[in-house]
């Protein structure tokens, strides 16, 4: 038969284990703290009950503290061990429960599981879908591989797409973004070329007179190659097994001089590299490593290149390989500490982000936005707590989605360098038209937005009831579980104590015999 002590030990392990396994993740910390403080709550309740039920009992704070100190000296280590074991069991059960939970399939999950080439078959009619919706439905299944002139020697999957007849695939045309100008949505048709048993599928669109853009299904293992407009350079995006490890690239850029068949540069040593053609006939060589991106612009006609990242000077193409090798080393132009560089798709905007650990494992990426063409710093938030997510909605435009780590602020802002304007596009609680103005006032506008958000939060909290039955996620909601834990634990401890007292064996009286006095006379 299990003893009363056994039941108490089992309860001390089972209750915290079940709590950790079942409560939501956001309440785990409060739950663990609440359970650890249960003895203190129970002791305070016992003292209060004693004072309320036994009249005439003198209970002083000093005696209560002394009693708790004596009890703690005996039971604090066993209680800490029981809590640690119970929490450990609970986290183990929690992981088991989470793995066992069935996942709800997303709509069209069967279509998502189909081969990538079949996904465009469900695309919507091109005239009945907006640009944003088109990108969500089609761009998820297709990726850009090339932009260039017709008959430029483009090869996809080893086949020359211009030398072979195209066979139109009977699918609805796709709505995809212009490879160089993401804000422009174009109509792409799905085509196939074939040599023997090899069939290559791609999506193509004539973006302007003689300029074509190409997409291929995701994922796509084939290499891509093309010639510049004057035919002097061949640029390739190669794929293959080039080694193992964290820095082995899935694909890399190669540039070849067609007159000598000499490899001008091979970027296989970079973690990531990509080369693509521009509508003006130039090439962009984008290199990426741990400290961010570097963009090189190559002019095939002038046989020169320059570092587009800092608007560098033109240099002979023969020096490209040496320049790429030097850029592979850590950059010395950034200050100490983690910094990262981002370049816009059109090569006109550079964003240097500074990583600062504002809390334990809580890193904040603050941006410095630079106009590459003029060298002007458009927005500088270094040494602040604005954490940014970066995107590029169009040519010479950057969108920054911010949250603020320590102070009030939660907004999205778009910087238009072409027109020297900023525009706030999201602000919690804002009504009416969002603020906009010159770029020089963007930082002040963000601070003003933070103050408005703080004032709105203070207004909403003023006079607000602790608990509103119509608001299940109100301010008091996070503490309800802790309160339930206190009540349940106190009841269980009280029941266990009562059972121990009622079923304890009756104490037998102890007879004390008189000790005879010694006979001092003898």
**Rounded CA separation 202/59 (Å):** 85
Neighbouring CB atoms inside 10 A of 239's CB total 15
Q: What does each C-alpha distance from 33 to 8, 28, 163, 339 come to in angstroms? A: 20, 9, 71, 38
| pLDDT of amino acid 20 | 76
Q: Are 46 and 38 in contact (CB under 8 A)?
A: no
| pLDDT of amino acid 469 | 47
| pLDDT of amino acid 174 | 87
**Rounded CA separation 106/167 (Å):** 34
Confidence (pTM): 0.54
What is the 3-state secondary structure of 451-519?
Answer: HHHHHHHHHHHCCCCCCCCCCCCCCCHHHHHHHHHHHHHHHHHHHHHHHHHHCCCCCCCCCCCCCCCCC
386 - beta bridge partners? Answer: 404
Assigned token pair, 136: 């969500």
Q: Is the backbone of residue 39 left (phi > 0), alpha (psi -120 to 50) or beta?
A: alpha
| pLDDT of amino acid 151 | 85
**Rounded CA separation 50/509 (Å):** 27
- Give phi and psi for 141, each to the nearest 5: -105, -10
| pLDDT of amino acid 478 | 46
**Rounded CA separation 220/226 (Å):** 17
Q: What is the pLDDT along the chain (522 residues), one digit of tens a residue?
A: 445 667 777 777 788 888 777 776 656 777 788 888 888 888 787 777 777 776 666 666 777 777 777 777 777 788 788 888 887 887 777 655 544 333 333 333 333 333 333 222 222 222 223 333 334 456 677 888 888 888 888 888 888 899 899 988 877 788 888 887 777 888 899 999 988 777 888 999 998 888 899 998 876 656 788 899 888 999 998 876 555 455 567 788 999 999 999 999 999 888 889 898 888 889 999 998 887 899 999 999 999 999 998 888 999 999 999 999 999 877 666 666 688 899 998 999 999 998 888 766 678 889 999 999 899 999 999 988 888 888 888 889 999 988 887 766 788 999 999 999 999 998 887 777 889 999 999 999 998 888 888 787 767 655 544 444 444 444 454 455 556 666 666 666 666 665 555 655 565 565 555 666 666 555
């Amino acid at each position: 038969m299990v003893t009363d002590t056994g039941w108490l030990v089992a309860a001390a392990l089972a209750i915290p284990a079940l709590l950790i396994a079942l409560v939501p993740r956001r309440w785990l910390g409060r739950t663990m703290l609440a359970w650890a403080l249960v003895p203190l709550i129970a002791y305070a309740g016992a003292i209060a009950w004693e004072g309320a039920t036994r009249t005439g009992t003198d209970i002083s704070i000093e005696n209560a503290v002394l009693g708790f100190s004596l009890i703690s000296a005996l039971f604090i280590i066993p209680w800490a061990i029981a809590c640690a074991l119970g929490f450990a069991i609970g986290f183990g059960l929690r992981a088991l429960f989470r793995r066992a939970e069935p996942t709800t399939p997303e709509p069209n999950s069967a279509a998502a599981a189909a081969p990538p080439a079949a996904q465009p078959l469900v695309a919507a009619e091109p005239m009945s879908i907006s640009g944003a919706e088109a990108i969500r439905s089609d761009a998820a299944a297709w990726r850009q591989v090339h932009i260039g002139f017709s008959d430029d020697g483009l090869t996809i999957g080893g086949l020359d797409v211009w030398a072979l007849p195209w066979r139109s695939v009977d699918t609805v045309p796709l709505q995809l973004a212009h490879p160089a100008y993401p804000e422009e949505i174009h109509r792409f048709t799905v085509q196939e070329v074939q040599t023997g048993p090899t069939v290559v599928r791609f999506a193509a669109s004539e973006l302007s007179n003689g300029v074509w853009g190409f997409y291929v299904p995701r994922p796509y293992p084939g290499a891509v190659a093309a010639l510049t407009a004057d035919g002097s350079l061949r640029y390739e995006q190669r794929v293959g097994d080039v080694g193992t490890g964290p820095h082995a690239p899935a694909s890399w850029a190669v540039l070849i001089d067609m007159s000598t068949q000499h490899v001008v540069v091979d970027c296989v040593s970079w973690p990531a590299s990509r080369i693509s053609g521009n509508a003006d006939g130039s090439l962009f060589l984008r290199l990426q490593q741990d400290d961010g991106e570097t963009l090189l612009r190559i002019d095939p006609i002038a046989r020169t290149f320059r570092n587009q990242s800092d608007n560098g000077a033109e240099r002979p193409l023969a020096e490209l390989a040496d320049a790429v090798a030097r850029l592979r080393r850590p950059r010395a132009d950034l200050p100490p500490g983690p910094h990262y560089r981002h370049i816009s798709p059109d090569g006109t905007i550079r964003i240097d982000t500074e990583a600062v650990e504002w809390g334990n494992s809580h890193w904040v990426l603050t941006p410095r936005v630079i106009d590459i063409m003029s060298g002007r710093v458009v927005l500088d938030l270094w040494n602040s707590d604005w954490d940014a997510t970066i995107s590029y909605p169009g040519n010479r435009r950057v969108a920054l989605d911010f949250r603020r780590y320590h102070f009030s602020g939660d907004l999205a802002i778009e910087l238009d360098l072409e027109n020297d304007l900023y525009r706030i596009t999201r602000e919690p609680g804002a009504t009416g038209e969002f603020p906009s103005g010159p770029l020089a006032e963007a930082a002040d506008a963000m601070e003003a937005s933070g103050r408005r958000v703080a004032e709105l939060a203070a207004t909403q909290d003023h006079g607000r009831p602790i608990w509103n039955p119509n608001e299940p996620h109100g301010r008091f909601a996070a503490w309800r579980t802790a309160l339930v834990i206190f009540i349940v634990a106190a009841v269980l401890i009280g029941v266990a104590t009562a059972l121990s007292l009622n079923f304890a064996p009756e104490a037998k009286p102890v007879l004390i015999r008189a000790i005879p006095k010694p006979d001092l006379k003898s």
